[in-house]
A and B are shown apart, each in its own frame.
Chain A
Amino acid sequence: MKRSLKLVATVAAFFCGAAFAQPNEIRIGIMMPTSGPAAKSGQDTLEGIKLAYDIINGSYDIPLPFAKTQGIPSKGGAKIRLIIEDHGGRPERGAAIAERMITQDKVHIIQGAFHSAVASPASQVAEKYGIPFVTGTSEAANLTERGFKTFFSVTPTSNDIARDFFSFLTDMSKEKNIPLKTLGVMHVNDNWGSSLAQASEALYKQYGFERLSVISYATPVSDLRSEVLRLKADNPDVLLQASFDADAILAVRTYTALAFTPKAILAMGASFATPDFIKAMGKNADYAFSHTKFDSALLQKRKAAAAVGKLYEQRAGRALWDAPVRAFTASFVIADALQRAKSLAPEDIIQALRETNIDGADTIAPYKGVKFNDKGQNVLANGLITQIRDGKHYAVWPKDMAVREAVFPAPAWDKR
């Protein structure tokens, strides 16, 4: 009898302890693909997120808000605890994870999901429960077009990216006096990849292109010959591309093999910006353009970028790049909202997110700042276009961020 009483007391004490511990922690559910077709990008991005919250939770001598203080000051220095789950790039798993994070882990915020195709159903679950969902990396424009109350996108969308590409191409065409009439789009056929094709379809005539050929493929993919042969037959002047890590390598290998030589390749998303791509393709990676949110020039323009870059390199074993930078930035947007939120109730956090107004100088991204419209899209998000030269990314557009002049058209594969 005595023993069982003791047991009950211990168990009760344990639960009370757990209950009392709660106000000092803020739970953020992180969903990232650490397996599946974008696993490497997902793993790198996750390191960026973890680093961001380590800086927020701990004390660092870095010129960023929340670096010197520990935790979220207005919430009694509450520490952020991450609940990390891998969705492997599978939409149905994303929805299940969101459900579990909200109902069982009782997260205050969900952050993710890299793949737009996963962010879409997962944020739908969050909307249903009224829990805020913040993305730093999912680019499909239709995510914010839905007009959800709880969804916030810090990153530029596929529409912004396509518009940047077209403006850049128009500039190039004028500057180098090369008429551009035909456009190709090569994309993975998920929500994210298709969003580039949709944006291009809406814009190409407006920017003076006469013909558009769109080629899509499904992952996993072992062979892209018929796709590339089709492209070669259509022979577009320039090619826009949305691919995952290994697909991008396979695609460019096939371009070189079949001598498909557009004047320029412009890539949305992470794949062409990954260090693995450059390592794999060597000189054939050169001259590719990426819409990115990070390059070496930013290290000088953003005061915290160099220090963050060093910390990231220690942790991830590779240089900081686009996707981790965007996720890192989104993490600080979350911390900023938590600091301003009246309480940790979901509606207060959402209200705080809605009132976000961060100056670009307080981030490590090239964004002018962070400010959401009524659909939750960051209207101050912008990126830059980089070109790979000798295995390094250099900003070439917009002009005020450029560190090198763009090479256009790119030399043929066998002339490199």
Chain B
Amino acid sequence: MIYAQVVVDGIIVGLVFALVAMGLSLIYGVMNIVNFAHGEFMMIAMYLCFFMAVGLGLDPLASAPIVALAMFAFGVLVYRLVARHLLEASMIAQMFATFGMLLFFQALVNFLWKADTRSVPDNWSTGNFSVAGLFFNTPELVASLGALATAIVLFWFINRTETGLALQAAAEDPQVARLLGVNTDRMYALTWGLSAATVGVAGALLSTFLPVYPLVGTNWALPAFVAVAIGGFGSITGAFWGGIIVGLVQTVGGFATSPNYKLLFVYGLYLLIVLLRPHGLMGKR
């Protein structure tokens, strides 16, 4: 029975990893840029939720769409101000720029609001329940279901809409896409917007039960990076499954042996995949 709980918990946390990882993979897939500040985008979204909850009394689940829109605009802004200039830059310059944003946003938030571990007050989803001997924390369950729903919307948008297909074309071959009349600059802006919006939704969902503080994003970005690497850089489907695999492997592996070793399993798997399938499970070669 306890193993059923372990597996369920692995999937619950894996779905949130998946949502964070998908946004990360999206930018890489389209622009070949690794956004190291991805976790900080999530952190900013969590602060937005916190301030809306405390200032306006808005439940994080209600403010999630507002946060998604705000983060979309923020993503576009970051593209216009920073990322656009990195398109032709060397990989080192790209890494420095996005890593610089990571440090900048962390320090800025620490400066503006200190490092208080703030928590959203009790909200709609607060509570626990148990079904058939399995224990659930309602906000965590809501977060993972919300992550799943957002992932499905993102899949649909990218694979079923004209804009999504144009986005894929821009990712595949920007020059040809441009010849076919796709405005790649707008597609890139859209990519950053979408990436920030998805991680913004993740932040909103997590803020219902996690404390908000300057380092909170880093904690979630690291497993997301591994998820992206396992799933294959640039593959959104891969990132989704990668997230679930990371969640399952760390929870089950950690429980079966000792939690001290849980990251060993995650990074062991990562190493194995890098060695055997360098492009990841579903990445492009």
Chain A residues close to B by CB (< 8 Å): 34-37, 39-40, 42-43, 189, 215-218, 220-223, 225-227, 229-230, 232-233, 245-246, 249-250, 253-254, 256-259, 274, 276-277, 279-280, 282, 413-414
Question: Could you give, for residues 213-224 of chain B, a 1 whenever the CB lies within 8 Å of some chain A CB and a 0 otherwise?
Answer: 111101110110
Complex: chain A residue closest to B5, CB-CB: A229
Identify which of residues 242-256 in chain B touch chain A, using a CB-to-CB cut-off of 8 Å: 247, 250-255
- CA A129 – CA B263 in complex, angstroms? 39
Interface residues of B, CB < 8 Å — how many? 46
- CA A65 – CA B5 in complex, angstroms? 58
Query: Are B13 and A280 neighbours in the complex by a CB distance under 8 Å?
Result: no
Q: Smallest Cβ distance from A247 to chain B, in angstroms?
A: 10
Q: Does B211 contact A (CB under 8 A)?
A: yes
Q: Smallest Cβ distance from A115 to chain B, in angstroms?
A: 14
Query: Are B13 and A40 neighbours in the complex by a CB distance under 8 Å?
Result: no
Interface of B is mostly: helix
Residues of A within 8 A of B215 (CB): 36-37, 39, 220, 246
Partner of A229, one of B9, B106, B260: B9
Query: Are B214 and A35 neighbours in the complex by a CB distance under 8 Å?
Result: yes
Complex: chain A residue closest to B263, CB-CB: A218
Given contacts A43-B115, A245-B117, contact A257 B136 (CB under 8 A): yes
Residues of B within 8 A of A250 (CB): 210-211
Q: Smallest Cβ distance from A176 to chain B, in angstroms?
A: 27
Complex: chain A residue closest to B118, CB-CB: A276
Query: Are A35 and B110 neighbours in the complex by a CB distance under 8 Å?
Result: yes
Q: Smallest Cβ distance from A226 to chain B, in angstroms?
A: 3
Question: Could you give, for residues 53-76 of chain B, a 1 whenever the CB lies within 8 Å of some chain A CB and a 0 otherwise?
Answer: 000000000000000000000000
Residues of B within 8 A of A233 (CB): 2, 255
Complex: chain B residue closest to A281, CB-CB: B119
Chain B residues close to A by CB (< 8 Å): 2, 5-6, 9-10, 13, 106-107, 110, 114-119, 122, 128, 130, 135-137, 140, 209-211, 213-216, 218-220, 222-223, 247, 250-255, 258-260, 262-263
- CA A130 – CA B138 in complex, angstroms? 56
Query: Are A245 and B213 neighbours in the complex by a CB distance under 8 Å?
Result: yes
Query: Are A35 and B115 neighbours in the complex by a CB distance under 8 Å?
Result: yes
Query: Are A39 and B110 neighbours in the complex by a CB distance under 8 Å?
Result: yes
Partner of B5, one of A249, A258, A276: A258
Query: Are B258 and A230 neighbours in the complex by a CB distance under 8 Å?
Result: yes
Q: Smallest Cβ distance from A36 to chain B, in angstroms?
A: 7
30 A-B residue pairings within 8 Å (CB atoms): A39-B114, A39-B213, A218-B263, A220-B218, A220-B219, A220-B222, A221-B219, A222-B223, A223-B13, A223-B247, A225-B6, A225-B9, A227-B262, A229-B9, A229-B251, A230-B259, A232-B2, A245-B115, A245-B213, A246-B117, A249-B117, A249-B119, A249-B211, A253-B210, A256-B128, A256-B137, A257-B135, A257-B136, A258-B5, A276-B118
Residues of B within 8 A of A222 (CB): 13, 219-220, 222-223
Given contacts A39-B110, A257-B136, contact A227 B254 (CB under 8 A): yes
Partner of A226, one of B110, B128, B250: B250
Residues of A within 8 A of B222 (CB): 220, 222
- CA A291 – CA B107 in complex, angstroms? 32
Residues of B within 8 A of A245 (CB): 115, 117, 211, 213
- CA A189 – CA B213 in complex, angstroms? 21
Residues of B within 8 A of A216 (CB): 259-260
Complex: chain B residue closest to A220, CB-CB: B219
Residues of A within 8 A of B116 (CB): 40, 276
